[in-house]
């Protein structure tokens, strides 16, 4: 028997409901009218109150006379059904129109899918995924190397086919706009390394050898290495972002459709520009690092001519040529990895960011590995 009735009327929307006294811990709710946002608030509050007061274990919602149901109404039905089930009871929605029941079923399935707990990947699975990704990267590496060698060889044979305007523009972006940061970091590194080296050597009266230490380390090792790392963060990421954005906007597909080779059209000018400017940037880095070292030596009371003589006596043309050769190889790695990551960009809002990050990280790792290979090779060759 119904023990309470209530209704709510708003314009043409009408909703009435009644609650039946619990029998065997089972309560029943009878609904009539439009179950929508405008008139659901009182019913929701009343249902919560009745369930708590009657200590309801099982719930039956009779929706046979419901003639309108929106998302709020579906939320009402799902909420109280699951509330009873979470308390260990049973719930049932009776006599709901078929179209309303279909809508409710779709919402219920979608909600369950969101709350599904997917099992975490095991360590072996993660290792397998990493191995597969490494294999794909190696495949893309060799594919890209072949494409670039083919396009670059064709460009050397026919220089007129190179887009020199793009080369000049990239020289400005890669080289001219990077001179300040390269010179600044070179100056600071020369200053810091000289000062930190001079203090321990001062105990033995050997401060003068700081000049030799700085000259060798900058020309043979730190000059090309640090310059390459700067370009990996500045230029490699820029190449990946530019080409990745074109990939997402399907501009690369448009180039292919028009019969243009994307590698020749986009990659060759960028790599050529990086190869041309990298030795000069390395030279600027070395010069300003030596200027920073000169300030430290002057502050320690050594004449400038003594500092210069120590540097010239410690360096040979082989050292300088080795440093410049490293710079050229590093420039190839920086521009190559930036272009490859750009061409590997997938669709999605985070794709360009992921490609940019991957270009920087991969570039720095490759530079470090290659520098280690150079160190071992030069040692074996006696250079």
pLDDT band (50, 70, 90) for residue 115: very low
- How far is Cα 24 from Cα 259, in angstroms, rounded to an integer? 78
202 shares a domain with 314 = yes
- Choose between 259 and 234: higher pLDDT: 234
Residue among 341, 145, 369 at smallest CA distance from 237: 341
Q: What is the mean pLDDT of residues 289-311?
A: 89
- Give the end of a domain, one of 114, 142, 172: 114
197 shares a domain with 66 = no
Q: Is residue 130 part of a domain?
A: no
pLDDT band (50, 70, 90) for residue 326: very high
- CATH code at 74? 3.30.750.24
With a pLDDT cut of 90, the percent of the chain lying above it is: 15
- pLDDT, tens digit (0-9, with 9 covering 90-100), for 237-264: 888 888 888 888 888 888 888 877 788 8
206 shares a domain with 66 = no
166 shares a domain with 109 = no
Q: Which helix (H) or strand (E) holds 109?
A: helix 98-114
Per-residue b or e along 358-371, where b marks 16 or more CB atoms closer than 10 Å to that residue's CB? bbbebbbebbeebb
188 shares a domain with 304 = yes
313 shares a domain with 192 = yes
Structural domain of residue 245, as residue ranges? 162-381
pLDDT at 225: 93
Residue 276 vs residues 35, 76, 228, 280, 330: alpha-carbon distances, Å:
72, 69, 13, 8, 12
- Give the end of a domain, one of 114, 145, 180: 114
Q: What is the mean pLDDT of residues 111-115?
A: 47
- Counted domains in the chain: 2
42 shares a domain with 184 = no
- pLDDT, tens digit (0-9, with 9 covering 90-100), for 47-85: 777 777 777 777 777 777 877 777 777 777 777 777 777
Of 37-41, 172-176, 290-294, 361-365, the least confident: 37-41
Strands (E), the chain: 2-10, 13-23, 26-35, 58-69, 91-94
Cβ pair 239, 358 in contact under 8 A: no
For 60, phi then psi, to 5°, come to -120, 125
pLDDT at 289: 92
> Whole-prediction pTM value?
0.64
- Give the end of a domain, one of 83, 114, 145: 114
Tokens 């659901």 sit on residue: 40
Tokens 């020749």 sit on residue: 264
């Amino acid at each position: 028997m119904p023990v309470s009735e209530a209704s709510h009327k708003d314009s043409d929307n009408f909703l009435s409901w009644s609650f039946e006294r619990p029998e065997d811990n089972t309560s029943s709710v009878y609904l009539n009218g439009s179950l929508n946002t405008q008139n659901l608030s009182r019913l929701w509050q009343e249902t919560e109150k009745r369930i708590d007061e009657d200590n309801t274990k099982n719930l039956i919602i009779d929706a046979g006379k419901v003639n309108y149901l929106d998302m709020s109404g579906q939320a009402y039905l799902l909420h109280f059904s699951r509330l009873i089930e979470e308390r260990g009871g049973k719930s049932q929605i009776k006599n709901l129109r078929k179209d309303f029941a279909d809508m409710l079923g779709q919402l219920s399935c979608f909600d369950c899918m969101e709350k599904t707990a997917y099992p975490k990947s095991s360590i072996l699975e993660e290792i397998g995924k990493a191995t597969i990704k490494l294999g794909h990267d190696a495949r893309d590496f060799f594919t890209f190397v072949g494409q670039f060698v083919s396009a670059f060889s064709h460009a050397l044979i026919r220089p007129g086919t190179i887009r020199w305007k793009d080369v000049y523009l990239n020289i400005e972006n890669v080289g001219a706009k990077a001179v300040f940061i390269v010179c600044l970091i070179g100056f600071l590194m020369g200053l810091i390394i000289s000062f930190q080296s001079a203090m321990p050597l001062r105990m033995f009266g050997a401060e003068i050898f700081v000049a030799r230490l700085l000259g060798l380390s900058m020309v043979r090792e730190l000059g090309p290495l640090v310059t390459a790392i700067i370009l990996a963060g500045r230029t490699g990421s820029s190449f990946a972002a530019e080409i990745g954005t074109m990939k997402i906007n399907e501009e690369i597909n448009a180039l292919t459709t028009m019969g243009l080779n994307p590698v020749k059209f986009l990659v060759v000018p960028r790599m050529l520009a990086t190869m041309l400017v990298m030795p000069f940037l390395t030279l600027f880095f070395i010069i300003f690092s030596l200027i920073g070292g000169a300030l430290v030596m002057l502050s320690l009371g050594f004449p400038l001519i003594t500092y210069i003589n120590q540097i010239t006596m410690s360096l040979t043309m082989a050292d300088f040529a080795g440093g410049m050769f490293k710079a050229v190889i590093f420039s190839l790695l920086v521009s190559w990895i930036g272009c490859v990551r750009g061409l590997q960009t997938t669709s999605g809002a985070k794709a360009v960011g992921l490609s940019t990050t991957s270009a920087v990280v991969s570039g720095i790792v490759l530079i470090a590995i290659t520098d280690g290979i150079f160190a071992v090779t030069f040692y074996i060759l006696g250079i």
